[in-house]
Amino acid sequence: MTQTQDSIKHWGDMPPEEFHQHARSISAWIAEYLERIASEEPSRVPRVLPNVQPNFLQEKLPASPPMLGEKVEDILRDFENIIVPNTTQWNNPNFHAYFSISASSIGILAEFLIAALNNNSMVWKSGQAATELERLVLSWLAEALGLPRELWGMIFDTASVSTMQALACARERSGFHVRERGLAGRGGDVPQMRVYASELVHSSIDKACITLGLGAENCIKIPVNERLQMQTEALEQAIKRDKEAGYLPIVVVGVVGTTSAGSSDNIHELVAVCERESIWLHVDAAWAGPAAMLEEWRDRFHGWERADSIVINPHKWLFVPIDLSVLYCRTPEVLKEAFSLVPEYLKTTEDGQVENMMDYGIQLGRRFRSLKLWFVMRYFGVEGIKARLREHIALAQLFANLVNDHPDFECTAPVEFALVCFRYKPQHVANGDEVTLERINADLEERINTQGQIFLVHTKLHNVYTLRFAVGNLYTSEAHIRRAFDHILKNT
Ligand SMILES: *Cc1c(COP(=O)(O)O)cnc(C)c1O
């Protein structure tokens, strides 16, 4: 219902008393929503994947904006009736696609406060506590991860952007003054620069090459071994071949916890190659990074403290609401060389004594993201976080055991961290009939996702069509895992 002309003001914001009333009803709504998705009673839990067709929204909402302001109650009613049931529920414990994540309650509360302060920490003077809290909380995180406390870090929105920044650093360090002179039309005085990563690397690396003008074809994919790790020898050969042909190798990307399979490259071997060749080593631990807190998983990270840069996404497996990605970099001065540009209106009297975060990246404006990481680390504590990560890893192992104990299922890769790669392989299908196996697994995935009680996606490993089951939501329990496996069985 549209409000009448005289009931709305044409200036100013909602009165604070009215804000209080709506904030109460919204917090009640959120609590009820969380209570439902966390419910042990499956019939109370909403679908994780909605039953919705493309362009559904056009029929439900007006094409033009309201000319007069509307009531909060009406806006919220449409949110509840049109938005919520028609969007994928990432906070639902039955979400096992991509990487399963959680916006913890403490993180949700922090987001509320971040919006209220509306801080923009472009420079220290425009966000003093935000700038300094970012430094503090990233040294907390480094310490918890077993990295040096002094390791310099910076918060971005996503791993894609963090990685792009790291590659920009490496491009700057190559000494060809790309920042000033660009790459195009230089009459051959700049060699083609090359970036190396395993064939399982995330597409964000290719996108960084595209964005930075390095060219997607200069992102060289190195084959993996049977443990799905980059073959170090093949990497060394590719670098040698490229150097002989006149290319300039600038970056190797090593992954801890690949997106497809959770596998990890042999980081200490990559460190040795990169140190010998003076190549920038970027470690992509966007998802698995928090597991470095667990002593029993530290070997996967062995050597990463010697990498030039590391990316970790606390919005993936550290219970921080999306978005928050951390880039650690051993040489922030190179980031500064690549990006610092200070127009007159951004000069401040403190410039000599403080860190102005705008100097280290492409963005000027920045949200107060460190607040939510600080809240989350304080609320759970490092031990609390570790216990939860271990629980997710144990639940993934439980799922893998159910798969392995069933004659018609198999795991298609070693179980790493909290990710299980598996497939349906009924005994009646002949060994090696990959065409049939791909079809029945694709059909199974489609049937499951159409029903929407659980959500799964697939990948291909060595060309084998594979379903993925990721665990990482704070509400996921043993009962969810057992029900999920039964549900998959029922759909075969
Ligand atoms: C998810 C993921 C990314 C991309 O993360 P965004 O924050 O969505 O850009 C990159 N690398 C790995 C290994 C990932 O799992």
Residues 112-121: tens digit of each pLDDT: 999 999 999 9
Domain range 15-49+88-103+382-492, CATH architecture: Alpha-Beta Complex (3.90)
Residues of the chain with CATH 3.40.640.10: 120-366
Measured in residues, the chain has a length of 492
CA distance 431 to 181: 57
Burial (CB count <10 Å: 0-12, 13-18, 19+), residue 467? buried
Question: What does the angle CA 245 – CA 251 – CA 253 come to, to the nearest 5 degrees?
Answer: 125
Contact (CB, 8 A) for 117 and 368: yes
Residues 402-441: tens digit of each pLDDT: 999 999 999 999 999 999 999 999 999 988 899 999 999 9
Q: Which fold has domain 120-366?
A: Aspartate Aminotransferase; domain 2 (3.40.640)
CA distance readout (Å), 112 to 26, 106, 228, 299, 336: 11, 10, 41, 38, 32
Q: How far is the CA of 317 from the centre of ligand 1 (A)?
A: 11
Q: Are strands 419-424 and 219-222 parallel, antiparallel or unpaired?
A: unpaired
pTM score: 0.96
Looking at residue 2, its pLDDT comes to: 47
Instruction: Please give the helix or strand (H or E) that residue 284 lies within, else none.
Output: strand 280-284
Q: Is 476 in the pocket of ligand 1 (CB under 6 A)?
A: no
Q: How far is the CA of 453 from the centre of ligand 1 (A)?
A: 25
Q: How far is the CA of 107 from the centre of ligand 1 (A)?
A: 20
Percent of the chain at pLDDT exceeding 70: 98
The tokens describing 406, both together, are 């069933």
Residues of the chain with CATH 3.90.1150.170: 15-49+88-103+382-492
The tokens describing 207, both together, are 């996108």
CA distance 46 to 44: 6
Dihedral angle of Cα 168, 170, 173, 174, to the nearest 10 degrees: -110
CA distance 461 to 341: 44
Instruction: Please give the number of the atom of ligand 1 that sits closest to the Cα of 158.
Output: 7
Q: Which of 117, 134, 127 is nearest to 374 (CA)?
A: 134
Q: Is 459 in the pocket of ligand 1 (CB under 6 A)?
A: no
CA distance readout (Å), 475 to 245, 371, 414: 54, 23, 25
Nearest CA to ligand 1 atom 5: 159
Least confident residue range of 132-136, 278-282, 297-301, 461-465: 461-465
Q: How far is the CA of 76 from the centre of ligand 1 (A)?
A: 32
Residues 120-146: tens digit of each pLDDT: 999 999 999 999 999 999 999 999 999
